[in-house]
């Protein structure tokens, strides 16, 4: 049978774009469809605009610390509208870069909503296309709890488009999204309350990281309420009234409420039933090659149950294309994928937590921790300590996990990830000569 395309990609986010360019190198005919903006969540509503917002907030602390280094204190004000304008200009530039890259690769870009008619036929805004293989890379979407008054809340996408920043904000959810926005908004001068259903922030991270980040929040004046949530939100003349339940039962009034409890696969209206694609708890079920129950249909990124990280999605996109056209790779090891939380204090992790290591290795592990004040803050009133922690298998001395809280944690963890991937021992790590003075060199003396 003759098809319009060898490969049809649904979704032009990081995974879809990486897959399209990879497929073009095989010399096959490729189309990619996107109903929203080119670049997906990462470029438009996630990693990039959020990191820009974090950078903007960091200048507040930098200006305060500059006085201790001899700079004359001066008044300064943050203009949210100016930031938004500059941010949006840069995001538009990035979208154009991706558009040009697709054109140069010979990939046909289709704008519109895509729906399966069968396993090889797709409808894009009323136009039918056929494809030998299909890659689903539609990403995820923010979710909200089903409670009275939830319509008064906003998600992380909507927060980025606020006309002005609130004076008081409550954040439902203490995962990485909630933590990042909490510390950023606090630097902008907002009164921030974080409530988390779990007993700690950043569930899934090492306990030392959880404690250090929470202490950092308390130091910054962020009210942090764990084992606490809201079961009702009302709009009143003074703002939004939240009724809290759990360990901290009380009523608070704020101007805005951010719901940051997580994301779910964005599969609505895709017509997967028509293609007979199987689900796994509301996500698309895939094997280690990212192939679905239909042998010609693959799925990657946040629409599956894999780790929800942009680099993972990109890698899966490329690997899925390789699997389609004859070069399948080995299964990804989730334990070797580093992750970070761009909160203040910043956190990062790779490998096993202490709890996970004890579950797998019992008493055959040992942990090495180090706390220190980075040289950058030696002259300032800000004496917040950085934390580094190694989880090591005692018998072999092999490093099983690295966890850090402190400035540049997201940069430093990437070097640690290489050590884990190569099976480096703690003894071998201590033999490395680092750059002095630096924060990263502390990794070699834990």
List active site positions: 436
DSSP 353-399: -HHHHHHHHTTSEEEEEEEE--GGGTTSS--PPEEEEEEEETTT-BE
Token pair 């820009």 is found at 52
d(CA 421, CA 398): 11
3-class DSSP state for residue 332? Answer: coil
- Burial of 333 from C-beta contacts in 10 A (0-12 / 13-18 / 19+): exposed
Question: Smallest Cα–Cα separation from 346: which of 201, 180, 218?
Answer: 180
Separation of alpha carbons 161 and 170, rounded Å: 17
Q: Which residues pair with 130 in a beta bridge?
A: 121
H or E element, residue 401:
strand 399-405
| Structure-token pair, residue 436 | 């002095």
Residues 68, 69, 70, 73: what is their CA dihedral angle, to the nearest 10 degrees? -50
* Spatial contact of 222 and 213, defined as CB atoms under 8 Å apart: no
99 close to 37: Cβ distance less than 8 angstroms: no
- Asked whether 314 and 363 are in contact (CB, 8 A), the reply is no
How many Cα neighbours within 13 Å face the side chain of 61?
21
Instruction: List alpha helices for 188-289, DSSP H.
Output: 207-219
5: left (phi over 0), alpha (psi -120 to 50) or beta: beta
Provide the β-strand partners of residue 392: 366, 399
Tokens representing residue 27 in the block: 């010399």
- At which residue do the structure tokens 């997580």 appear? 262
Question: Tokens standing for 53?
Answer: 């917002």
Quote the tokens at residue 125. Answer: 């805004």
- Per 3-state DSSP, what percentage of the chain is helix, strand, and coil (rounded to 5)? 35, 25, 40
């Amino acid at each position: 049978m003759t098809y319009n395309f060898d490969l049809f990609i649904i979704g032009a986010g990081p995974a879809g774009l990486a897959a399209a360019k990879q497929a073009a190198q095989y010399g096959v005919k490729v189309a990619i469809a996107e109903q929203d903006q080119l670049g997906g969540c990462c470029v438009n509503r996630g990693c990039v605009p959020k990191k820009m917002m974090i950078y903007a907030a960091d200048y507040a602390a930098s200006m305060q610390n500059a006085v201790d280094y001899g700079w004359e204190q001066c008044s300064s004000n943050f203009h949210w509208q100016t930031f938004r304008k500059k941010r949006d200009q840069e995001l538009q530039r990035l979208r154009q870069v991706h558009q040009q890259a697709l054109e140069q690769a010979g990939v046909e870009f289709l704008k519109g909503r895509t729906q399966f008619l069968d396993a090889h036929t797709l409808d894009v805004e009323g136009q039918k296309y056929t494809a030998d293989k299909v890659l689903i890379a539609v990403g995820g979407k923010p979710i909200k709890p089903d409670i009275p008054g939830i319509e008064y809340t906003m998600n992380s996408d909507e927060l980025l488009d606020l006309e002005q920043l609130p004076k008081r904000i409550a954040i439902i959810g203490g995962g990485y999204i909630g933590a990042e926005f909490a510390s950023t908004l606090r630097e902008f001068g907002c009164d921030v309350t974080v409530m988390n259903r779990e007993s700690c922030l950043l569930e899934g991270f090492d306990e030392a990281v959880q404690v250090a980040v929470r202490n950092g929040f308390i130091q910054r004046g962020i009210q942090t309420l764990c084992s606490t949530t809201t079961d009702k939100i009302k709009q009143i003349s003074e703002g939004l009234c939240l009724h809290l339940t759990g360990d901290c039962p009380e009523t608070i009034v704020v101007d805005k409420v951010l719901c940051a409890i997580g994301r779910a696969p964005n599969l609505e209206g895709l017509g997967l039933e028509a293609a007979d694609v199987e689900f796994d708890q509301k996500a698309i079920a895939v094997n280690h090659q990212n192939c679905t129950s239909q042998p010609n249909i693959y799925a990657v990124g946040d629409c599956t149950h894999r780790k929800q990280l942009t680099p993972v999605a990109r890698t899966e996109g490329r690997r899925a294309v390789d699997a389609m056209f004859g070069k399948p790779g080995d299964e990804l090891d989730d334990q070797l994928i580093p992750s970070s939380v761009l909160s203040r204090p910043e956190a990062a992790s790779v490998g096993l937590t202490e709890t996970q290591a004890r579950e797998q290795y019992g008493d055959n592990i040992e942990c090495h921790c180090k706390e220190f004040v980075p040289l950058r803050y030696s002259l300032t009133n800000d004496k917040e300590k950085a934390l580094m922690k190694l989880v090591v298998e005692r018998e072999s001395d092999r490093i099983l996990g690295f966890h850090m809280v402190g400035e540049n944690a997201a940069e430093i963890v990437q070097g640690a990830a290489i050590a884990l991937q190569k099976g480096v021992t703690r003894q071998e790590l201590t033999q490395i000569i680092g750059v002095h003075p630096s924060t990263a060199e502390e990794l070699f003396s834990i």
